[in-house]
């Protein structure tokens, strides 16, 4: 396993941070981009790898790749329209650890030969697919790392939902990278929960005043969920404060919502159910079994029928001094709920290291009505 593949396969959501001065779809992004300085700053911000555009259509050159190699030690992906052995040899000579192969531009014999040549040269490959047919091709070609691009390279349109469906259908024994359209933490989280090992982020970073700070923000954990929302104005405040998930209780409760409310693009919606779930159009479902007429202590977070996180909560209307210690013993993604508020959430994060923190009653002025100052304080404290 090469360095590029190994880095992306590490636990948690990885990120390939991309250096590109312009794009055919968006025009100039960062004409003065310094690939060496950016690669080093992305490495310090937690990138798993850095992608360097070497094609003139993106105002890139092979010298950009060599400069990034001199500055940073993390794996580098050479990104261009590669179709020959010479392209791969040049990538290797300029410090690449991996090279992009676009199935849109390659037939199967060409792609198979380039994968073989890359292996001979000690290069990983990122084999990029744009639809279900190309995903099947990538799988049959034995590509260890498959990129699934949300952008249609013909129209440049972004379709995240179609991409997430592809990610969810990809074979579990490959490293899967969700490419394009990741602008917010929630977009990365959606790809992660669909099954992506990493995201590739380019334009969002290049447009940011501080690209490395933007990358760190996209990768920041825990995520923050504000639950028990019943009013559009409360959803808006949670979004403005920087919450990532909006929760709507759809079981019997003083804070029950008649239906999920619309949420901004920067958030994921979560329906909360007890006893049984139903499809109400939310991105995720938080489910608790029914015990003695009320919710069980713990639950699960579902994407469709798949469990994507464990919910660690307090017993129904009870306290437990060992709650955080117990939650810290959970494996995989943990959504921590139960008694969290602006005053204790930072201590809870330090003790549990959860994937997401969740608050509801502690942020209320009255049942189902949020106190906007408390919502803002909770999100700020969790960050």
Q: Please tell me the predicted confidence (pLDDT) of residue 158.
A: 86
Q: Please tell me the predicted confidence (pLDDT) of residue 248.
A: 98
Q: Average pLDDT in the 316-321 region? A: 90
Question: What's the Cα-to-Cα distance from 204 to each of 48, 156, 213, rounded to whole Å?
Answer: 17, 15, 11
pLDDT band at residue 27 under the 50/70/90 scheme: confident
Exposed (0-12), middle (13-18) or buried (19+): which is 3, by Cβ within 10 Å?
Answer: middle
Backbone region of residue 238 per phi and psi (left: phi > 0; alpha: psi in -120 to 50; beta: other values): alpha
Question: Tens digit of pLDDT for each residue in 197-255?
Answer: 999 999 999 999 999 999 999 999 999 999 999 999 999 999 999 999 999 999 999 99
When comparing pLDDT for 270 and 24, which is higher? 270
Q: Which domains does the chain have, with CATH numbers?
A: 3-219 (3.20.20.70), 223-382 (3.20.20.70)
pLDDT band at residue 286 under the 50/70/90 scheme: very high
Residue 24 has pLDDT above 90, yes or no: no
Q: How far apart are CA 365 and CA 216, in angstroms?
A: 33
Residue carrying the six token digits 């249609």: 152
Q: Please tell me the predicted confidence (pLDDT) of residue 323.
A: 97
Whether the Cβ atoms of residue 152 and residue 163 lie closer than 8 Å to each other: no
Ranking 32-41, 48-57, 145-154 by mean pLDDT, the lowest is 145-154
Q: What six digits make up the tokens of 16? A: 């390939």
The string of DSSP codes covering 182-224 is --SHHHHHHHHHHT-SEEEE-HHHHHSSSHHHHHHHHH-SSEE
Q: Please tell me the predicted confidence (pLDDT) of residue 164.
A: 95
Residue 297 has pLDDT above 80, yes or no: yes
pLDDT band at residue 378 under the 50/70/90 scheme: very high
Q: Please tell me the predicted confidence (pLDDT) of residue 144.
A: 97
Q: Average pLDDT in the 6-27 region? A: 93
Question: Tens digit of pLDDT for each residue in 334-368?
Answer: 999 999 999 999 999 999 999 999 999 999 999 99
Q: Average pLDDT in the 153-159 region? A: 79
State the chain's mean pLDDT as an integer.
96
Contacts of 190 (CB under 8 A, 6+ apart): 160, 164, 268, 283
């Amino acid at each position: 396993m090469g360095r590029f593949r190994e880095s992306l396969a590490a636990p948690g959501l990885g990120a390939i941070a991309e250096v590109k001065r312009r794009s055919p779809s968006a025009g100039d992004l960062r004409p003065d981009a310094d690939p060496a300085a950016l690669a080093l700053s992305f490495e310090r911000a937690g990138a798993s790898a850095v992608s360097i555009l070497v094609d003139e259509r993106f105002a890139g050159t092979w010298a950009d790749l060599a400069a990034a190699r001199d500055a940073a030690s993390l794996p580098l992906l050479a990104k261009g329209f590669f179709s020959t052995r010479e392209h791969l040899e040049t990538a290797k000579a300029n410090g690449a650890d991996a090279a992009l192969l676009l199935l849109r531009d390659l037939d199967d014999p060409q792609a198979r030969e380039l994968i073989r040549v890359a292996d001979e040269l000690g290069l990983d490959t990122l084999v990029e697919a744009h639809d279900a047919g190309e995903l099947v091709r990538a799988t049959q070609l034995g590509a260890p790392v498959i990129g699934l691009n949300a952008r249609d390279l013909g129209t440049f349109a972004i379709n995240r939902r179609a991409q997430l469906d592809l990610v969810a259908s990809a074979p579990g024994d490959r490293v899967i990278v969700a490419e394009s359209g990741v602008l917010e933490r929630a977009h990365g989280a959606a790809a992660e929960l669909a099954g992506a090992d990493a995201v590739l982020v380019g334009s969002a970073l290049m447009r940011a005043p501080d690209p490395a700070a933007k990358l760190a923000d996209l990768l920041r954990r825990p995520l923050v969920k504000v639950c028990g929302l019943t009013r559009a104005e409360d959803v808006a405040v949670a979004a403005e404060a920087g919450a990532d998930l909006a929760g709507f209780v759809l079981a019997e409760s003083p804070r029950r919502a008649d239906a999920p409310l619309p949420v901004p693009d920067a958030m994921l919606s979560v329906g909360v159910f007890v006893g049984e779930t139903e499809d109400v159009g939310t991105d995720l479902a938080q489910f608790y079994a029914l015990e003695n007429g009320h919710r069980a202590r713990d639950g699960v977070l579902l994407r469709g029928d798949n469990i994507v996180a464990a919910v660690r909560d307090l017993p129904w209307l009870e306290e437990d001094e060992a709650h955080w210690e117990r939650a810290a013993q959970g494996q995989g993604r943990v959504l921590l709920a139960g008694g969290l508020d602006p005053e204790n959430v930072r201590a809870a994060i330090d003790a549990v290291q959860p994937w997401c923190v969740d608050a509801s009653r502690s942020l209320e002025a009255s049942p189902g009505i949020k106190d906007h100052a408390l919502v803002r304080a909770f999100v700020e404290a969790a960050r």
